[in-house]
Chain A
Amino acid sequence: MSVPLEHDYIGLSEASPSMEGSERSSGGLNLKATELRLGLPGSGSPERENGVVAEDRAGYPLGMLKSLLVVSGAKRGFSDAIDGGSGKWVFSGSGGSEAELGKGGNLFSPRGVNGSGKGGLGGGSECANQNPGLGVPVLKDGVVPQSPKPLQEKKSQLSAPAAKAQVVGWPPIRSFRKNSMASHPPKNDDDSEGKFGSGCLYVKVSMDGAPYLRKVDLKNYGSYRELSSALEKMFSCFTIGQCGSHGVPSRDGLSESRLMDLLHGSEYVLTYEDKDGDWMLVGDVPWEMFTYSCKRMRIMKSSEAIGLAPRAMEKCKSRN
């Protein structure tokens, strides 16, 4: 894991950052002063004639962002917020900078702030909804770290978490470790997925005909209904006939209900593989028993699912 230190034998080290600037200005971005400029300090910016590099934060970021913001039209607003003399950033927290940015800066709409989206219509509401059904919840209780926001406010929001929300991937512990620390040691388990970890229970869900599969945490749901609606949202884009070249839904708004129709109709059924390796229909056993025994799920075509239902009931009886 250790990385050898760079040895600059003849001044030709591989990726020395201080070299970047001069290389860049000779080669590439030779844009006019008013155009968008991206590059290290010293690479042609009018404010930095003498090319002082990164240590000096005083003027450099100001220069870069000013030229950036010429494009977005919020230059005046931004420089008002910055104490140009001392070069210090004056990000007060909420009020000042947000208001300035709101003026016309459409590149930087902080999450959850309405109305500053480009094009306006629908921008606010779409941006504000940061909690897609399953996919990637940020914090389940709806708190999303905002850009400028006073520290106090943030703290008070977070000091009152009622139920402990499960945040994806936090604390950062590898799946192998989570699964190994299971309260139930594996009996004859081959699949290290979806073991009964004390906090999450990831199982893979595949769907016949879908280009890729998903993982869901069964602990996020309390009932079959919740699970089924989450799966509908996740896989709605795969319903046959609705997919584009990448399997994403066309925007006709019908895709979500389509899967529900398909599931409740006869085209697809939801099945799962249990700890014994048998495939069963989802829904036949009590929810808790299901989460305990489910190793993975498959949304399969009804034609292939014939004969599953009776076995589920038999197994349930033989267990008790």
Chain B
Amino acid sequence: MELDPDDVFRDDEDDPDNEALRERASSKELVVYLVDASPKMFSTKCPSEDQKDESHFQIATSCILESLKTQIINRSYDEVAVCFFNTREKKNLQDLNNVFVFNVADREFLDRPTAKFIKEFSRLEEFFMKDIGSQYGIVSGSRENSLYNALWVAQALLRKGSAKTADKRILIFTDEDDPFGNIKGGAKADMTRTTLQRAKDAQDLGISIELLPLSQLDREFNISLFYADLIGLQGENLAQFMPAAGERMEDMKYQLRKRMFKKRIVRKLTFSVANGVSIEVHTYAFIRPTVLGSITWLDSVTNQPIKIERSFICADTGALMQEPPKRFQTYKNQDVKFSVEELSEIKRVSTGQLRLLGFKPLSCLKDYHNLRPSTFIFPSDEEVIGSTRIFIALHRSMIRLKRFAVAFYGTSSHSQLVALVAQEEIIDSGGQVEPPGMHLIYLPYSDDIRHAEELHSTTNASVPQANEDQIKKAAALIKRIDLKDFSVYQFANPALQRHYAVLQALALEEDDLPDIKDETVPDEEGLARPGVVNAIEEFKQSVFGDKYEESDNAGHKKVSEASKKRKALADSAVQKSVQYNWAELADSGKLKDLTVVELKIYLTAHDLPVSGKKEDLIKRILTHMGK
């Protein structure tokens, strides 16, 4: 029953419906991209990666485009507007000159990105000059101030949504470090002042203004001429701004497509420490398998969503019934009935939510003591004052003494013995890598642990074990194939990235699939280095002697009966298959004159499925032949 693929990974604490709901209600980001469209942005060319010259304007728009494509997957509830300034035409609610808000039908100026919006934006170059046009907005002798207008428009767009639930940002892309450079005297001071005031007003409303400057080849963008004041940069930040800005552009372009989750508390728990003393902790789902996202079933004819109706039918009488209140288990030839309440009563074995049982050395936590992704816990003084202090004291003691806590975690639906492992904070240059707190690891019970290794225990002779030399050779091998800075964060899930790419290609009607690199394949080149090859050869020699190839074959001999049979069938099919002239049969439409058995010869010989009706088989053969 393919009702909900998310169901597979759903644990009682990670309710996806809930998540979607919260995602909408909680903080979202409202962003206005302000792109300078002055002629200068078009005239400056920079060499791009593929050796073609790119104008600053192209750099800015492609950066926004990539960012939009990522955003629609990562945080599709965030809203964006793209707004050009220094344009010939104008389009904005305030009817201000030289400002053009780009948009498509069925969408407000500031709204969630849609496929149509992204598609249209990717075609921008085709119609920009015709429909929008580029023109300096700040010229001496005129009172027009396009930058001021742009900020005003952006601020007006961002009026939507309260400052409490939304994060509002204006991102300015420009290569003009001195926008009022060609204005003289009092007019310049005046314009500068009003523009800065406009920016400050926006900032006072909780809108943050960011700048992504584009430098000329021969001259770096001079932030201190004007923009430092606009975005409020001072001292040290000023010096670090330019290098950081470059990285930010790169980041925007090469973000991983990844559904973002807001940090939210999964549960507020009472953690009873001892003798009735309980502290308050919050749990967070820190690591969870990411799923493809919710599926909406559609009617393939109309592409309209469909709903699923569930009905209960009595197997004995065929009568339609309500959801039955009782469940039963056949036991000793009778049906033992349980009410839903009784079942939940059975599951409720502990009333306290997280109960400390004691401590053990970390070595007692074996690698096979795991069932599900861990849950992160962090203390809170919100309702119980003093919680954080006890938690930190225990945390420090556990780290110092190399111990973990064993606790019983009982909720109404699921109860489990858990290990609480204290994690020290780890910070690197990029910020916090591991937050401080404890990880709650779900421990298996005795019935959850299997002893497969004992299946292959020998009864009289001991099993072979490696000798000193073999271990030494293995150690040499291990040293050779070393991943120095391995981090679990380094691989993107190739299946997921592929899915997003396919989705994007279909939604935007792109012709070819973007290439997704599978980062999880081994480094063949590295493995072919002579040092590595030598180490492998020595290990092979030590363990297998000269018999590696033989052993390889021995393995093949052990193929199961079933696969042997399958192999034999395929072989004979290949032999028989050559007796037919399939191409001719197909061309003359005579395939239907063959028997199903004959058709299957072709299919088996080409390793195709042999199921289905005769027409299906013929169709499959024709498809395979490319006809």
* A and B interact physically: no
Q: Which residues of B contact A (CB under 8 A)?
A: none
Q: Which residues of A contact B (CB under 8 A)?
A: none
